[in-house]
Amino acid sequence: MVSVSALGQAGKTAVGRTGAAFKENPVVVEIQKEWLLAAREGDVDAFGRVVDAFQKPVFNLCYRMLGNPEDAEDAAQESFWRAYQGLSKYDFQRPFGTWMLSIAAHYCIDRLRRKRPILLSLESLLPEDDAPDETPNPEDQTHRKQEQEAVQQLLSALGREERAMIVMRYWHDMSYEEIARSLKVSVGAVKSRLHRARHTLAERWPVHSLSPVSPGGGHE
């Protein structure tokens, strides 16, 4: 039996910022398989460990898609519930991270389809109590908040699927193939839509940038 601390460590390794996050090393896969197999049998606590390990990437995807922490929390919770319920359909050959993000992305896309999102974060108006504060300098904090807002503004210029693709690509380092599989589109479609999305982001950048890069001439 693997100790609790070892599980925790493995979980943290599994949710790193880079693409390696979902290209698990064998130890992580072994441990997660244990959790998943137990969860498949109805063990909520076992799936709780999976939730613990993947909460950050899933929440981040939901936040980037929906634009505010309240909706992101709801969407992430619901995505984990759907994953828990759909564990019998999970293919163990596939990285769990991409499968999980796929569920979250589909849920967010459906949610955006049903209603128009609130794209400006409420966090910019409310004090942040629980989020870890890594920048004690108030100026830095303000700058970071403004930058986060600018990023959300940028993302809001994109369509639902394009936004999901950008988040998967640039936050979670997913390959074209993984994105295609997750969103059930062709690799060609992913490439062309990401290309278009990059174009849109560049077009929007000078408008929403807080400290726009002076390009030596306006770009229209």
Partner 1 sequence: MNKHLPYRDWIFEEETLPADSAQALRRHLQGCPDCRAAAEAWKAARQSLANAGEKSPRTGFTARWKALAAERIRVPSRRPAWAMLAVSSAGSLVMALALAVQTSTQGFSLAGVFTRDLSAAAGALEDWMDTTSSLGAFLTIVSRSIPPACYLFAIFFVSLIGILWLLLFVRSTAQGKQQ
Q: Which residues contribute to the site for partner 1 (CB under 8 A)?
A: 17, 44-45, 47-48, 51-52, 55-57, 59-60, 63-64, 69, 72-73, 76-77, 80-81, 84, 129-132, 147-148, 150-151, 154, 166, 170-171, 194-195, 198-199, 201-206, 209, 212-213, 215-220
Would you say 85 or 93 has its CB closer to partner 1? 85
Supply the angle between the helices 96-114 and 44-66 in degrees, to the nearest 10.
50
Give the helix ranges, DSSP H, for the chain.
4-14, 26-40, 44-66, 69-85, 96-114, 138-156, 160-170, 176-183, 187-208
Question: From the CB of 10, what's the least distance to partner 1, in Å?
Answer: 15
Nearer to partner 1, 93 or 126 (CB): 126
Burial 66-92 (b: 16+ CB within 10 A, else e): bbbbebbeebbebbbeebbeebeebee
Comparison of 27 and 157: residue with beta carbon closer to partner 1 = 157
Q: Which residue lies nearer to partner 1 by CB, 90 or 171?
A: 171
Toward partner 1, which CB reaches closer, 138 or 217? 217
Q: How far is the CB of 215 from partner 1 (least distance, A)?
A: 3
Compute the least distance from the CB of residue 93 to partner 1, in Å: 26
Question: ∠ CA 160-164-170 to the nearest 5 degrees?
Answer: 140
Rounded least distance, CB 1 to partner 1, Å? 20
| Contacts of 184 by beta carbon, 8 Å cutoff, 6+ apart | none
